[in-house]
Chains A and B, each alone.
Chain A
Amino acid sequence: AQSVSQHNHHVILSEAASLELGCNYSYGGTVNLFWYVQYPGQHLQLLLKYFSGDPLVKGIKGFEAEFIKSKFSFNLRKPSVQWSDTAEYFCAVLSGTYKYIFGTGTRLKVLA
């Protein structure tokens, strides 16, 4: 069965620190990969997505993610986090044509 693993459940960083959140998936077919973000009190929003082509994907607010097929990974990165990046981050894979499989999420807290 397809699955998505996010190994970091809670991450605490100081402002300006670099961020990398891990995401590994288990899916044998062509993958469409996503990162969603949920800011406190807000709904889930799409951060970035990968379909094909350049494995380094850039999203909103300075986030990027790299698809490494050999490692079944799609880690999220940001060179310098801000207090406003405090949120919960979810990795997801499109399973088949319409169903998304989500990871359990990573709660990021950025200290001012």
Chain B
Amino acid sequence: GAGVSQSPSNKVTEKGKDVELRCDPISGHTALYWYRQSLGQGLEFLIYFQGNSAPDKSGLPSDRFSAERTGGSVSTLTIQRTQQEDSAVYLCASSSDTSYGYTFGSGTRLTVV
């Protein structure tokens, strides 16, 4: 597609439930990132995928968080047993050349109640 597509745009879930967030990057972009944007916290790096290389998962805050990227394209971020502190906007970005910047999606606003 023309841009990075994320779904759903909004998700309200009960504490303890699992959620899946989807990212469809720009076609041909080999690099894919997940960031988390919390109020007053800026953007927090979560995970990075590059082609077929092992992902950099160093930013995942706990083992409740996981992500995969199938076929080098679509990525899914899964949060298990959600907690209220997981409430944030989850942003996906892709890039063909990381030194030139990312293209961001519109994000998924997750609210855990």
Residues of chain A touching chain B, judged by Cβ–Cβ distance below 8 Å, are 9, 32, 34, 36, 42-46, 49, 51, 90, 92, 94, 97-105
Contact = CB atoms under 8 A, between A and B. Distances in A.
Nearest to B41: A104
Interface in B33-77: 33, 35, 40-43, 45, 48, 50, 56
Contacts, number: 52
A51 B56 contact: no
A14 to B, nearest CB: 25
Given A90-B43, A100-B45, A32 B106 contact: no
Contact of B31 (A43, A44, A98, A105): A98
A43 B106 contact: yes
B42 A98 contact: no
A98 B101 CA distance: 9
Contact of B104 (A44, A51, A103, A104): A44
